[in-house]
Chains A and B, each alone.
Chain A
C-alpha cells in the first residue's frame, strides 16, 4: 500500500516571501501521479498542481512549483511571492496509474500554512 507523509504540521511565511512544503511518499509502483491540494476554511478541496511520475520536468503553475525527486520519493511544493490568500491547509496526494485504482487518492496529513502580512 502507498503512504504519503507530510512532516510539517504547520508552516508560516511572510507575505511576498517564498515557502517550501515537504512531502515524501512510499510506493513500489513506477508509474503514478502526485498532487498538491489546497483546503481553505471553506473546506473546498482545490487542486494546486499535478505531476506525472514519468515526466522528469518539474510542474509549475504560476507562483506554484514542485521539486520532484523520484529516486528519493520526495515531492515538495514551493510557493513564491506568497499572498494572504495562500493561507490554507495543504495536502500532498498520491494516485496510482493502475486502472483498477481509478482516481483513488492517498492523502498526507496536511500542512497548515499561515501567511503573515
Chain B
C-alpha cells in the first residue's frame, strides 16, 4: 500500500511560468490537504479538498493559486505566473474520512519549488 505520492520532488520554474504540483493520496483516501512550508518556517495550511469539491480554501492566496481533486486522477495544486516568493516546499496530506476522529493524517514527501 503506497503512501501519499507527490511529484515532482523538485520543480524549477522561471518567474512568470506556471507550476503544477501533483498529489496522489493513499489508496482509499478521499480527503486531501495542501500545506506550504517557507524556508525556516512551519507548515501553513492552504486548502482542503474532497473528491470534486473544495471544502476549505481559506489558506489559499487570492490570486494565481488554484487546486483541484478530480473524480479520477491526482490532486493538482496550480500556481500561475510564479514569483520568487512562491519558492517553498509544498506538502500534500491525505485522510480516509472527514470526521475529526482520532485518525492519522498521512503526509507526502513534498515538492520543492524553486523560482528563478
Residues of A within 8 A of B (CB): 4, 6, 33, 42-45, 47, 50, 52, 91, 95-110
Q: Determine which of B31, B42, B107 lies in contact with A108 in the assembled complex, contact meaning CB atoms within 8 Å.
A: B42
Q: Which residues of A contact B99 (CB under 8 A)?
A: 99
Contact assessment for A109 and B41 in the assembled complex, using a CB-CB cutoff below 8 Å: yes
Bound Cα distance from A103 to B97, whole angstroms: 9
Bound Cα distance from A114 to B55, whole angstroms: 38
- A45-B91, A47-B104 known; A102+B42 contact, CB < 8 A: no
- A44-B107, A44-B109 known; A102+B100 contact, CB < 8 A: yes
- A47-B104, A109-B41, A110-B41 known; A102+B110 contact, CB < 8 A: no
CB nearest to B111 among chain A residues: A43
Q: Which residues of A contact B93 (CB under 8 A)?
A: 45, 103
Q: Determine which of B31, B44, B91 lies in contact with A103 in the assembled complex, contact meaning CB atoms within 8 Å.
A: B31
What 9 A-B pairs come out closest when comparing CB atoms?
A107-B42, A45-B107, A103-B95, A107-B43, A109-B42, A103-B105, A43-B110, A102-B98, A97-B100
| B52 CB within 8 Å of chain A | no
Q: Which residues of A contact B44 (CB under 8 A)?
A: 107
Bound Cα distance from A97 to B103, whole angstroms: 11
